[in-house]
Amino acid sequence: MLVKILGGLDLISAIVFLMIIFGLDPWTQLVLFCAGLLFLKGLFILTGEPLSVIDLVSSLTLIFSLLWIPWMGLAWMLALLLLAKGIVSFI
């Protein structure tokens, strides 16, 4: 059950990245919520989980996207990786 909740967070974060990519303005609260939870989820890297690097980089990119436009290649890559992680967690 917890894996599906964390996968849902990945899907919501991927949608936020896609909104940024396509020029839509996501709510600031939603961006900060996703970035904060992705950062906490990314702390699993301390337990040896290698895919947590994606969560940490995504968290920092979401926070920086509030001030600057992120590089589109990085945004696409993170959006697709988070989308894939979210979908796999529901399987």
Q: What is the distance between the alpha carbons of residues 7 and 39, in angstroms, rounded to a whole number?
A: 14
Task: Return d(Cα 43, Cα 59) in angstroms, integer.
Answer: 11
Residue 20 phi/psi, 5-degree rounding, is: -65, -40
45 three-class SS:
helix
pTM here is: 0.89
Query: Could you read off the pLDDT of 23-73 as tens digits, one per residue?
Result: 898 899 999 999 999 999 888 888 888 888 999 999 999 999 989 988 899
Q: What is the pLDDT of residue 88?
A: 93
